[in-house]
Amino acid sequence: MLNEPKIITLSLSVAAALTAVAAALHFSCIFIGAPAFRFLGAGEVIAKMAERGHWYPSFIAFVIGIVLTSWAAYALSGAGVTPRLPLTPYALFAIALIFLFRAVGFPLLKSAFPENSQTFWFVTSGICLVIGLAFLIGAIGLWRDS
C-alpha cells in the first residue's frame, strides 16, 4: 500500500505544503517583528530582542526558514513534482526522524525554552508529528518503490 505512487505523492505533497507554511511563518517574523514572534510562541525574551532591533531573532527565524524551505524542496522532489535532488530517499528519512523527534522529544527540549507555554509545546509537537509522519510515509514508499 505505501508503495503506491498516489500515496507517496500525496504524503510528500502534504509534507511539502505544511513545511512550506512553517517556513513562511518563520520568515514572517523577520518582517512583522515582535508581534509575530509572540504569536508563534517564541517567548518574551526573543520578542523583546526583536523590539530592540537585535539581530539574533531575525537571524534564527531566517535560518529555520531556510532549513524548512530546503526540506519542503526535498518533499517535492520525492513526490516527483520537481527533479530529483541528491540523496532524496535518505534525506526524507532524516527529515522525518527530525520532525518525529521534535514531536515526541519536547519534554527534553522544554527546559531550554522555559518561556514557551504548554499550549505551544502541544500544538507545535502535534504539527511536527503530522509532518514527520507524512515525510516517513513518503520515504518508506520511495524505498519500497525503488
Q: In this predicted structure, which of 3-12, 14-23, 46-55, 58-67 has the lowest mean pLDDT? A: 3-12
Q: Work out the average pLDDT over 59-63.
A: 97
**All three cell numbers of 68:** 524548512
Q: How many CB atoms lie within 10 A of CB 130?
A: 15
Q: Which distant-in-sequence residues (6+ apart) come within 8 Å of 105 by Cβ? A: none
> Could you tell me the sign of the dihedral formed by the alpha carbons of 30, 33, 36, 38, in that order?
positive
CB 18 within 8 A of CB 130: yes
Give the C-alpha separation, 21 to 127, whole Å: 11
The domain tally of the chain equals 1
Domain that holds residue 39: 5-145
Residues 110, 116: contact at Cβ < 8 Å? yes
At residue 3, the pLDDT reads: 60
Residue 70 has pLDDT above 60, yes or no: yes
> What is the per-residue pLDDT across 108-132, written as a single tens digit (0 to 9) for each?
988 888 877 788 889 999 999 999 9
Q: Are 19 and 68 in contact (CB under 8 A)?
A: yes
pTM of the full structure: 0.91
What is the average pLDDT across 85-114?
Answer: 93
> Residue 134's closest CA among 1, 2, 44?
2
Q: What is the pLDDT of residue 83?
A: 96
The average pLDDT across 85-92 equals 96
